[in-house]
Chains A and B, each alone.
Chain A
C-alpha cells in the first residue's frame, strides 16, 4: 500500500476509498434523495413505470401520517418490547460467553451465529409450527389454564414480538459480547475484595463498562425490528401489521409510490431522532 503512496502521492487514499464512496453515493445517498422527491410528488400524475414529477406536495405526508399512524405506533411498540427482551436474553448469553465459558468461548460464539445460515424466512416459518393452535405449547398452556379454551398464540401480538425477539437476538449479543469481553476480570475481583456484593459488582462495575455494547446492541436490534414486516406477515394477523407491511403494500400492490415514499421518510426521521436522543442520553457518542 505504501508503494501506491509513492506513485500516487496523497491521492492513494482516494483511489482506495473511491469505489466504495462512489457506490454508496450513487446507490445509497442518491436514492434517499430520490425517495424524498418521490414523497413530494403528485400521486395522480405519475406512475411506477414512467416515474413521477416533483410538485412539492406536502399533503402526502399529512395523508400518510393520518391514515397509517396506528401502524407506525405499533411498529415502535413491538420493536421496543422485542429490543428489551433481546437485551435481557442477550446479556445473559453474552455474559456467560465472556466470563464463564472458559475454553468453550469460540465454540459458543460460533454457535450463536450458526443458526443464521438457515434462511431467515424458513426459520420464521418454523415458529408457525411451534406456536400452532394444536401444538405442544398451546396445549400445555391451555391445560395449565394460562391460555383459555380457544386461546391461541399464533396471529397475536405475542407471536410477532416473539418472532422479532428471536430473529434479532444475535444483533444484540455480538456487540454486548465485544464490550463485555474487554472488561478486565480483575476489576470485578477488586470490587469483591472491597466487600461489594455480586449485585453491587454488577450495577457498579460490569453494567457501566458494558454500556457501549448495550447501546450498540439495542440500536442494531431496534432499527431493523421497526422496519421489519416478515414476522408480522408470517406470525401475525391483519390486526398486528406493522409500518413495513404498509410501505411494502403501497409500493408493490397499490403502486402508490408517493405515499409509500412519504411513509418511508417519516419512519427514517423518527428512527434518526430516537437514535440521536438515545445516544446523547447514554453518553456514548463516540459510537457514531
Chain B
C-alpha cells in the first residue's frame, strides 16, 4: 500500500500535470492545423477541408487584416516602451526608497490588476467623453489605455527582480572604487535587466492581445483582435491562424533564445574563472 502510495506520489502527479499542459495546447494545435486549411471550396469555416500552403504564401490577402496587424504592433511597441520606462522607475523608487505615500502607491498599483477590464475600459470611455474627446477616440486613446494597464505589471515584475538582488554586490563595487554611476550601469542594471526584459515582453503581449478595453476606446481604429472579432461574425479568414501560429513561434523563439544565451553566458563566465 505504501509502495503504491509512493508510486502515485512520484509519477501520477507528473502524468496528470502533463495532461493539463496538453489540454492547454489543444487550441494552439487546432490554430496551426487550420492555418493549412483550404477554405475556398466550402462555406463552413469551422471544419478542416483540404491541405494548402496558400494561407502561408498570401498572409495579407484578407482585406484590412495586415493593416490591423500594423496598428496593433505600433501600439504594442509604443505602449511597451513607455510603460516599461515609467514602471521600472517606479519599481526602483518602491524597492530602494522609503517615502511618504509608499503604501498608497502600492495600493494604486495593485488596483488596475484587480479591476475587471470592462470596468477599466468603460471608466476611461466615461472620462474621454466627459473631457470632450468623445468624437476623437482612436489610436491615441487606445495607446493611453494600454500604457495604463501595462504599468502595474511592469512594476510587479521589475520589483520582484530588484528585491531579490544581493546588495552586497553593489557594496563590493563601491569598495573597489566604482562611483555610483559606474555601480549602477555595471552592476545593478545588468542584474535587473532580465526582469525589465520580461516586463517588456509581458507588456507587449498584454497590449497586442487586448480586446475589451480597446474595443470601448478605439473609435474607428481597428487593431488585430478587433479585426478578428469583426471577422468572427462573418467567418474568420484562415490567414488569422497563420498570424496566430507565427506569433506563437516568434514568442517561443525569443524565450528559448534568451534562455540559451543566458546559459551560454553563465557557462562562458564559469570557464573564464
Q: Chain A residues in contact with chain B, CB under 8 A? A: 1-3, 5-6, 10, 12-14, 16-17, 19-21, 23-25, 27-32, 34-35, 37-38, 48-52, 89-90, 92-93, 95-97, 99-101, 106, 108, 110-130, 132, 134, 166, 169-170, 197-198, 219-220, 223-224, 226-230, 234, 243-244, 247-248, 251-252, 257, 260-261, 264, 267-268, 271, 275, 288
Contact = CB atoms under 8 A, between A and B. Distances in A.
A114 B244 CA distance: 12
A237 B74 CA distance: 35
A6 B181 CA distance: 12
A19 B134 contact: no
B111 A28 contact: yes
A182 B30 CA distance: 36
B209 interface: yes
Contacts of A170: 24
Contacts of A37: 126, 130
B53 interface: no
B52 interface: no
A247 B212 CA distance: 11
Interface residues of B, number: 100
Contacts of A28: 108, 111-112, 120, 123, 148
Given A29-B108, A251-B125, A257-B126, A126 B27 contact: yes
A257 B5 contact: no
Nearest to B104: A21
A14 B98 CA distance: 10
A141 B227 CA distance: 34
B26 A23 contact: no
B36 interface: no
Given A16-B89, A125-B232, A120 B211 contact: yes
Given A121-B232, A252-B216, A21 B244 contact: no
B244 A288 contact: no
Given A115-B24, A169-B24, A288-B107, A20 B86 contact: yes
Given A17-B90, A19-B89, A112-B21, A35 B119 contact: yes
- Residue of A99, A111, A119, A166 with most partner-chain B CB within 10 A: A119
Contact of A32 (B23, B123, B155, B232): B123
Contacts of A243: 118
A242 B253 CA distance: 37
B195 interface: no
A48 B92 CA distance: 40
A108 B180 CA distance: 39
B108 A21 contact: yes
B261 interface: no
B169 interface: no
A125 B234 CA distance: 13
Interface in B157-182: 179-181
Interface of chain B, helix or strand or loop or mixed? helix
> Which 9 pairs across A and B sit closest by C-beta, in order of nearness?
A227-B116, A96-B17, A117-B251, A13-B97, A16-B93, A20-B90, A31-B123, A35-B123, A31-B127
Contacts of A261: 122-123, 126
B266 interface: no
Nearest to A167: B27
Contacts of A99: 13
A226 B98 CA distance: 36
B115 interface: yes
A20 B209 contact: no
B47 A129 contact: yes
Interface in B51-101: 85-87, 89-90, 92-94, 96-99
Contacts of B10: 100
B216 A251 contact: yes
A44 B239 CA distance: 45
Interface in B125-147: 125-127, 129-130, 132, 134-135, 144-145, 147
Given A27-B148, A114-B248, A115-B24, A1 B184 contact: yes
Contact of B31 (A14, A96, A106, A118): A118
B250 A119 contact: no
Given A118-B27, A251-B125, 15 more contacts: A24-B108, A27-B127, A27-B147, A48-B134, A49-B129, A89-B20, A97-B17, A100-B13, A112-B24, A117-B251, A119-B208, A125-B236, A129-B30, A227-B116, A267-B118
Given A118-B248, A122-B241, A267 B116 contact: yes
B261 to A, nearest CB: 14
26 contacts: A21-B90, A21-B105, A23-B148, A32-B123, A34-B126, A34-B130, A35-B122, A51-B129, A93-B20, A97-B17, A100-B14, A117-B247, A118-B244, A119-B228, A121-B232, A124-B27, A126-B34, A129-B47, A134-B47, A197-B5, A223-B115, A227-B116, A228-B118, A228-B212, A257-B125, A268-B116
